[in-house]
A = this chain, B = another copy of it.
Amino acid sequence: MNRIRILVIRPIVNVPEELQQKRLDHLRRLAFSGTEIEITSIEKGPVAIETEYNAALAVPGILRKARQAEKEGFDAIINSCAADPGLYACRQAVSIPVVGTGESSHLLAASLGRKYSIITVGKQGRIPRLYDNVIRNLNLESKVASIRGIGMSSVLELRENLNKAKKLFIEESKKAIIEDGADVIVPGCAYFSELVAELQKELEVPIIDPAGAALKMAETLVCLGLTHSKIAFPCPSYI
């Protein structure tokens, strides 16, 4: 295989440089030897994505970055948010593969067990419903055992309290396994990606690394010469 160039687009603004670098390092460790990864954020939009409202305001920025990436010769784009904001729009905007972090995680989870649970931010009765779309687009409703929140109400709170988040994540995952019948765990937020190795030590079922899942899907598509169907995701007539 030749060199593969992948651009990771984080659909948020103001990502601290250190977190950006941490993600990049994480991905480079997981990449195949021929894969080159770059990472960027959008210029205008939300600081975090917890609602369809946040997602909607991120999409124009993602589309801009995606078109630019195609021009610059990238082989694939990763939409780096577990809610896959604007994924289909983005596939219409360009002809190279556009991989969703949520979609890739859910597909992998669907293969690894019989039922998976999504563990994410939010309190009981107030869990973000952003994943509905990811699940429905793939029709995976009956593979989902449950969606559980760790009791932190926002992504930024999570980002600032990773140790506490890990503990809560383990607790909710265990409940998902015993009470809801889950046998695979999918983090509902890309910020968990770098924690998966540690979380895995505490749990006997597979946990998906969202960022890693997306990376592998991107490598797979480029390597097999595949891109998203232009009948499913046609180029827009109007811009």
Any B CB within 8 A of the CB of A63: yes
With the chains together, A228 CA to B129 CA distance in Å?
A: 15
Given A51-B89, A52-B92, A234 and B33 contact (CB-CB distance below 8 Å): no
Contacts of A237 in B (CB 8 A): 48, 50-51, 153-154
Interface string of A219-236 (1 = CB under 8 A from B): 111011111111111101
Copies in the complex: 6
Contacts of A75 in B (CB 8 A): none
Which residue of chain B lies nearest to A123 when distances are taken between CB atoms in the complex?
A: B178
Size of chain A's interface in residues, with CB distance under 8 A? 88
Q: Which A residues between 31 and 63 are near B, CB-CB below 8 angstroms?
A: 31-34, 46-48, 50-57, 59-60, 63
Minimum Cβ distance to chain B for residue A90 (Å): 8
With the chains together, A11 CA to B223 CA distance in Å?
A: 26
Minimum Cβ distance to chain B for residue A115 (Å): 8
A92 and B51 contacting across the interface, CB-CB below 8 Å:
yes
